Amino acid sequence: MAVTKKETQEKTAKKTTGATKKPATKTTATKKTTTKKTVAKKAPVVAVNKKHVLYVASEAFPFAGTGGLGEVIGSLPRSINNSADIEARIIIPLYQSLSAEDRAKLTFITHITVPVAWRNQYCGLFKYEHGGVTYYFIDNEYYFKRSGLYGYGDDGERFAFFSRAVLELMPYFDWRVDVLHAHDWQSALVPVYYKLYYMYKEGYENIKTVFTIHNIEYQGQFSPAILEDVFGISYKEYMSIEFNGCINLMKGAIDYSDYVSTVSPTYAEQIKTAEYAHGLEGILLKNEDKLRGILNGVDVDTYNPKTNKALFVNYDKNSLDKKDIGKEELQKMLGLPVNRDVPIIAMITRLASHKGIDIVRRAMNDILKNDVQFIVLGTGEIDHEEYFKYIQNIYDNKVRSIISFNKDLAHKIYAGADIFLMPSKSEPCGLSQMMACRYGTIPVVRKTGGLKDSIIDCENGDKGIGFVFDNYNSDEMLCAIERAIGLYRDYKAKWSGLVKRAITTDFSWNKSAGVYLDFYREILG
Ligand code: GLC
């Protein structure tokens, strides 16, 4: 009850001050002071009681991203900030890829030196308000002025610096952190360093730590030889982050964090088993009391067929006929035969085996025996890239393989396709199946992780929003694809109903942000 009352107060305060509508312009600094003052005057109790969650991650859209992690960090905090009692902020590295236009909007806060083992490194702190969320950027050109985000021999040191810098910079935020929420191995040292070196320091007391696993496959494993010199952790503490004879940063974070979460309820169960945990099942079983599975949402403002500027034609649930115009434009653009009656099957994915590429390859000739077109967009393992180029050469009037990372084209494909294939061997959550639904494109998915939690099979077309198969093999996948093709071809009315259900399913963050908020409230007592 008390929270509801506070919520109302804060909402009213925001409405009167226009705080939520404040544009992020160069004059933000002055405007912000005014806004803050007014809010404080109107709702002093709420302002004092607000709790603060700092999202620590290596990616956040729209400023830096390579995939799902960046999508989530770039959208979840915005929904968290709709609440009256919790505010989320984000901290990421300042990468070279940040555009000049965005750089011009950064506000410099301070610079300090950060210990990286026995060295001290320069560290700048910048701030940027965007879409109702404060982003902090950590600057060090030696570590981050490079092309791309990852893949360097010293990635361990780069993210050790980043994690240490987050903790060292906290006193300069002018914003007390109540929950440190770290994501994936790149920020896994945050809870470890906090418990080893900061929790008893003045100003750092009683901070709760949460660690989210977006994909357990990437654990941050390094040679024990660099424990002291790179990570600055004494050999006395080796056991804290040792696993199977290696430094394993994710293992350290799971053990050291107060709570651990992952991105779907099913994956939270799966990672307690050897089949999915990439070795860490024992660690998760030991920590299962603090493990939660919360399904991701997607940024429904960006993935909105009515407004997205990348689409050939905008449409919504009431103008689905226009989806076919976009389909024909896509066929034209890619040089495929233009025919709105031929179903387009699409994949937008990293070309990695666990995404199901091997069973797709096994079934490809059988899929293409049907009257379909097949579009794949993505980059990844060279062998898979070569395969898709080859298959396009063989089936030139049916297949298009675009080996690149192209967001603009991705939107056109999500919208122009009819069937979206996502046969992952494992999938912590998966966002593409939700993005496809947003555009009225029907997912064919394997029943695993977040795919299982988000897509219900349509059976004979009267319920559900997709086609789901159980076991990881090409025959079951082919059967699901052919069920989809059959419904598309022979039962137009049922297909339209399916498309309507998919496009109207709520994949926004509203529901999941609510679960996160309750989680934070519980953590904070
Ligand atoms: C990773 C996972 C994906 C998940 C995303 C965001 O990319 O592989 O399944 O949706 O993180 O949590």
Q: Could you list the pLDDT tens digit for every one of the 525 residues in the chain?
A: 333 333 433 333 333 333 333 333 333 333 333 333 333 333 334 445 899 999 999 999 999 988 899 999 999 999 999 999 999 999 999 999 999 999 999 999 999 999 999 999 999 999 999 999 999 999 999 999 999 999 999 999 999 999 999 999 999 998 999 999 999 999 999 999 999 999 999 999 999 999 999 999 999 999 999 999 999 999 999 998 999 999 999 999 999 999 999 999 999 999 999 999 999 999 999 999 999 999 999 999 999 999 999 999 999 999 999 999 999 999 999 999 999 999 999 999 999 999 999 999 999 999 999 999 999 999 999 999 999 999 999 999 999 999 999 999 999 999 999 999 999 999 999 999 999 999 999 999 999 999 999 999 999 889 999 999 999 999 999 999 999 999 999 999 999 999 999 999 999 999 899 999 999 999 998
Question: Ligand 1: which residue has its CA nearest to atom 7?
Answer: 68
- 8 A C-beta contact, residue 441 and residue 420: yes
CB-ligand 1 contact for 213 (6 Å cutoff) = no
CA of 156 to the centre of ligand 1 (A): 21
Ligand 1 near 277 CB (within 6 A): no
Q: Ligand 1 centre and the CA of 371: distance in Å?
A: 32
Nearest atom (ligand 1) to Cα of 427: 9
Ligand 1 mutation target, pool 214, 405, 446, most atoms within 8 A of CB: 214
Distance, CA of 101 to CA of 62 (rounded, Å): 13
Distance CA 456, CA 171 (A): 47
Q: Which atom of ligand 1 is nearest to the CA of 67?
A: 7
Ligand 1 atom 5: residue of nearest CA: 68
pTM: 0.89
Q: How far is the CA of 430 from the centre of ligand 1 (A)?
A: 5
Atom number of ligand 1 nearest to Cα 428: 9
Could you give the C-alpha distances from 62 to 26, 74, 105, 289, 350, in angstroms and in order?
Answer: 18, 7, 14, 34, 19
Q: Would you state the pLDDT for residue 27?
A: 30
Find, among 504, 427, 39, the residue nearest to 214 by Cα: 427
Atom number, ligand 1, closest to the C-alpha of residue 217:
8
* Secondary structure E strands in 41-187: 51-56, 86-93, 107-116, 119-130, 133-139, 179-183
Q: Which amino acid is at 521?
A: R
Q: Bridge partners of 86?
A: 51
Which residue has a Cα nearest atom 12 of ligand 1? 214
pLDDT at 391: 98
Query: What's the Cα-to-Cα distance from 455 to each of 350, 419, 444, 499, 501, rounded to whole Å?
Result: 20, 13, 9, 13, 11
- Decide: 69 in ligand 1 pocket, CB within 6 A: yes
> How far apart are alpha carbons 99 and 111 in whole angstroms?
21
Give the per-residue pLDDT at 20.
32
Q: Ligand 1: does its nearest atom lie under 6 Å from the Cβ of 263?
A: yes
Relative to beta strand 86-93, strand 51-56 is parallel
Question: How far is it, in rounded angstroms, from Cα 195 to Cα 189?
Answer: 10
What distance in Å separates the CA atoms of residue 13 and residue 286, rounded to the nearest whole number? Answer: 45
CA 476 from centroid of its chain's CA atoms: 28
Q: Is 215 in the pocket of ligand 1 (CB under 6 A)?
A: yes
**DSSP secondary structure letter of residue 343:** P
Helix or strand or coil: residue 107? strand
Q: How far is CA 470 from CA 355, 418, 445, in A?
A: 15, 22, 9
Among protein residues, the one whose CA lies closest to atom 3 of ligand 1: 430
Our answer on whether the CB atom of 214 is closer than 6 Å to any ligand 1 atom is yes
Give the distance (Å) from ligand 1 centre to CA of residue 433: 12
Distance 72 CA to ligand 1 centre (A): 8
Q: Give the number of the atom of ligand 1 that is nearest the alpha carbon of residue 431.
A: 10
